[in-house]
Amino acid sequence: MSLSYTILDPALDLFLYDLRDSFGQSEAAIAENRRQFWRRIYGDEKTIEAILSAQRSKEDELSDYVQLIDPYPHIQKLAPPLDNGYYYPVKLGDTYGLQIDCSGKLNDPQWEKISQLQQLEDLATEIRSRCGEKWGTVGQSWLFVGQLDRHNPGVDAVAKDCYEGLKLTKTPNWKRDLKGKGRLCGATLYELEKPDTTPDGKNHHFHAIVCLFDFDYPDDKRQDEIQYLYRDLMRLLHFRHKILWIYEQTRLIKHDSKQLGYEIQKLVDRLPDRLSSDRANLNQLQTDLASALQLAYDYDRQQSALQQSRFTLEINADNYRQRLDKMSDRDNNSNLEMLARFSRSARQYMRQNSTDERALLFGRSSLEDFIDTIENIIKVEHTKNERTLNQTIAVASVGIGAASIAIAALPQETQPSPPSNLKDFSFSGAKFAFSIIVGLVFALAAYLVPKLLRKLKRSTASRN
């Protein structure tokens, strides 16, 4: 298939975002993030090492927007055969941003011979291969920019041909993927997307924008507007994908919280069995308590993560709206409702996050009740054990005391000497046995009398 018209000055861009660092990441993990990002641009490891050394101080700048390649124009040219393009890397707070731009091959007769649709498909294939076919860890968006020729069949038809010809997905479908249409500074814009349906904590939402300038829009103004568009989209799309990425993280938290709830329910369900006997198993109860305290720690971590996610969602949603307002302010006749639509999605994500927070709080409350119950049971069992121990000591003391008194009351020799014969030894043994018997009798009395008195007291109370 070939086009019956020409798309003037076509260019394809990929805006790709990688995580630079996140809360709690080790220095080794952050260093690996840097290496992976620069590997997208420089495949040679020696070059990467040089870049890592030279760019470290620049990356550590506190500014939210840092151009990472010097000197002006802060780009790295693409290598042949796609030598009509560049890499533009920046630091955006805790995220790396990379724009890969290409508009074709220079001084290549074969390139001019193939159809424009094939050129579009080749552009997408080559750009994908330049970033290693590896999706941005935070997200990515495609942008196609061109200008209509005088004999175009209509801007909608051209946009459809461009999108389906680029083959940015395996199954591009204009009618299904199109989400909105707008206007900005002499160009018609179309937004297309496919949602990520895999809850794996990664933002694999497909997103693309087709931008077609009117055929009579002046070349010099068009070039200026394209540069404005690049600058604005680098930031706007960062906010968009940061929101989607954070929301993906909250889905993992929600999944983990369900698992925690399941573990808590298992502990609660086992509690009646733990208490079915007259005396609870202290070791088992302490094991359950330790498990509950670990679950409480995990709950607190998830609660903190959801709170941080809520703040991040709010900040990026606000930044997205502000950047979109700046884009609209450049053109009094602009209509960017198709991009503003995402702000409503962001509010839904924030509401869902708040709902998950409340659910987690409810689960934490149930866990606290369980911990309090277990701790109280353990205290009661400890009290019972201490009372039994004290009673045993008291009984033993009575027995020992009685035995001592008994043996002291027996006749004693004035000058004791070792037994000289078996008869003397038997007499000494008899005295010892007598003292033991007296001790046991008094110990038994000390043990039984309080019990009998308590039983008599309960019986009297019941008759009254």
| Residue listed under structure tokens 């996140």 | 22
Q: State if pTM tops 0.85.
A: no
**Segment (H or E) for 121:** helix 116-130
Strands (E) located in 138-281: 139-148, 178-184, 187-194, 206-213
Buried b (16+ CB within 10 A) or exposed e, 23-49: eeeeeeebeebbebbbbbbeeeeeebe
The DSSP string of 1-24 is: ---SS-EEEEEEEEEEEEE---TT
Q: Which of 12, 13, 14, 20 is nearest to 242 (CA)?
A: 20
Q: What is the pLDDT along the chain (464 residues), one digit of tens a residue?
A: 678 889 999 999 999 999 998 877 888 988 889 888 988 888 777 788 887 777 777 777 778 888 888 776 778 888 776 667 899 999 999 999 999 999 888 777 888 888 998 999 999 998 988 775 688 999 999 999 999 999 889 999 999 999 999 999 989 999 999 999 999 999 999 999 999 888 787 888 999 999 999 999 999 999 999 999 999 999 999 999 999 999 999 999 988 888 888 888 888 787 777 666 655 677 777 888 888 888 888 888 888 899 999 999 999 999 999 999 999 999 999 999 999 999 999 999 999 999 998 888 777 777 788 788 877 777 776 666 555 555 555 545 545 555 566 556 656 555 555 555 555 546 566 655 656 665 566 556 656 666 666 666 666 666 65
CB atoms within 10 A of CB 162: 25
Query: Quick check: 149 and 216 in contact, CB under 8 A?
Result: no
- Radius of gyration from C-alpha coordinates of the chain: 40
CA distances to 38, 274, 289 from 13, in Å: 18, 64, 56
Query: Quick check: 99 and 13 in contact, CB under 8 A?
Result: yes
Per-domain boundaries in the chain? 7-217, 247-383, 384-463
The CA distance from 17 to 38, in Å, is 12
| Residue listed under structure tokens 């002046």 | 218
Q: Return the structure tokens found at 435.
A: 């003292």
The CA distance from 235 to 325, in Å, is 13
